[in-house]
Amino acid sequence: MVIAIDLESLAEELRNYEGVKRKRAINDLVTMLGVSDKVGGRTIAGFGEDAAVLDFDGDNCILLAVDGILDKLLSTDPWWAGYCAVHVNVNDIAAMGGTPLAMVNLTSTQRRDVCIGLGRGMEEGVKKFGVPMVGGHLHPDTVYDALDVAIMGRVRKDSIIFSSGAKPGDKVLVAIDLDGRVSPNYNLAWDTTTKKSPVVIKKQLETMVKIGEKKLATAGKDISNPGTVGTLGMLLESSGVGALVDLAKVPRPIYRQGQDVSDIDIDIDIPLPQWLKVYPGTGFVLTVENGEKGSKCIEIFRAAGITASIIGEIDASKRLRITDGEEIATVFDFNSDIITGIR
C-alpha cells in the first residue's frame, strides 16, 4: 500500500514535533547525574529506560519511575490530567515487563477546584488500573499548577525488557489498542481505557509481562508523548542502532462514514501525521529477533484486544528512516542528532 503524503515534510514534522524536542533537555541533567546511579551498587539500569531497575534479592528487581503532566493538558482538564498521571506511570512499569505495586504524588496548586479535579482523576485511575496511591506531598501555595506521580513495580531479573537491547537484523513491532477515541479535550491523546473494565485493562498490561517472561523481545518501550515514531527513535538511540519502517504497516484506526464511533463526530481517517504523534492509551514499540518471535508477540497482544504488526527492521545505520512504499526519508540521524542523547 502506498501512502499519499509528502514523506520529507512528514519526516521534518516528526523530527520537530514538540513531544520529541522537549526531550532534548534531559541530556543536560543526565550529563550531571549520569554517574550517580552507581551509588549504592544496586542499580542495574537507570537513565534511558522507562523505569530504573534496582537489584532486590538476586532473582527479583524493583522498578522505579516518575512522570509529570504537560501544563497544557492540566490547564485544559484537571480530571483527565490526574487520570493520565496514573496511566502513564503504570505503562512505564508494564513496558519493562513489570507489575506495578504502588504510587505517590506531588500536587502543586493553590486552586481548590484544580486540586479536587486532579484528586478525582487520580482516584479514578487508581480504581481503573488497580494500583494504590499510598502517599504524596501537596504544595498549596504555588503560583502554578503541576502534578507529578512516581511509581514502584517489580519484575523478575530474567524477564526485564530494556530499551537498549535492539540489534541489527531484529524486527520492529508496534502494538496499539485501536479500540478507542481521540480525547475530546486533547487531540493528541488516544483514549482506550476510560470505557474499558479494570479486568480488560489488567489483561492488556500483562501482555508485556508475558513477553518478558517468554523472552520474546530484545527491546521495548511504551509509546509516550513523542508518539510512535519518536518513541521508536528513543529506543534506537538507546540501543545505538537504526531502522527502516514502513508507515503503511503501523496499526491505525480507520473510521468510515456511518460506522459507530460512540460519541466521536468523525467520518474520516485520523490523519497520519496526527496518528504518529498521538499518545495511545495502550501502545508499545518492541524489537524481536525474528518473525517467529514476532508472531508469538502478535498473538499475545491479539488475545488481549491489541493490534500488533511488524513494521520494519533494525540496521546498523544509526538512522531512523521511514518509507511510504516508494520513497524513503530520514527522521533522525543519530550520528549527529539527539532526542535525549542517552546511549
Long-range pairs for 289-292 at CB < 8 Å and ≥24 separation? 289/169, 289/170, 289/171, 289/218, 290/171, 291/171
Using DSSP's 3-state secondary structure scheme, residue 343 falls into coil
According to the model, what pLDDT value does residue 260 have? 45
Using DSSP's 3-state secondary structure scheme, residue 149 falls into strand
Q: Residue 267 pLDDT > 60, yes or no?
A: no
Q: Which among 317, 103, 77, 99 is positioned nearest to 206, based on CA atoms?
A: 99
Q: Residue 76 pLDDT > 50, yes or no?
A: yes
Which one has a higher pLDDT value, 131 or 33?
Answer: 131
Helix (H) or strand (E) holding 206: helix 198-213
According to the model, what pLDDT value does residue 185 have? 77
Residue entry with cell 544509526: 318
Convert the pLDDT of each residue in 268-279 to its tens digit. Answer: 478 999 999 999
- What mean pLDDT, rounded, does the chain reach? 90
Q: Which among 295, 298, 290 is positioned nearest to 314, based on CA atoms?
A: 290
Helix (H) or strand (E) holding 32: helix 26-33
- Domain boundary assignment for the chain: 7-23+162-333, 50-158
According to the model, what pLDDT value does residue 237 have? 94
Q: Residue 72, exposed/middle/buried by CB under 10 A (0-12, 13-18, 19+)?
A: exposed
According to the model, what pLDDT value does residue 339 have? 82
Instruction: Give the end-to-end CA distance of the chain in Å, rounded to a whole number.
Output: 34
Domain 7-23+162-333 superfamily per CATH: PurM-like C-terminal domain (3.90.650.10)
| Average pLDDT value for residue range 209-235 | 96
Which one has a higher pLDDT value, 186 or 335?
Answer: 335
Residue 32: C-alpha distances to residues 28, 29, 35, 47 (Å): 7, 5, 8, 12
Convert the pLDDT of each residue in 18-71 to its tens digit. Answer: 888 777 767 767 766 666 566 667 888 878 889 999 998 889 999 999 999 878
For 50-158, CATH gives 3.30.1330.10
Question: In this structure, are residues 152 and 62 in contact, taking their beta carbons and an 8 Å threshold?
Answer: yes
Convert the pLDDT of each residue in 297-332 to its tens digit. Answer: 999 999 999 999 999 999 999 999 999 988 999 999
Read off the amino acid at residue 95.
Answer: A
Q: The pTM is what?
A: 0.90
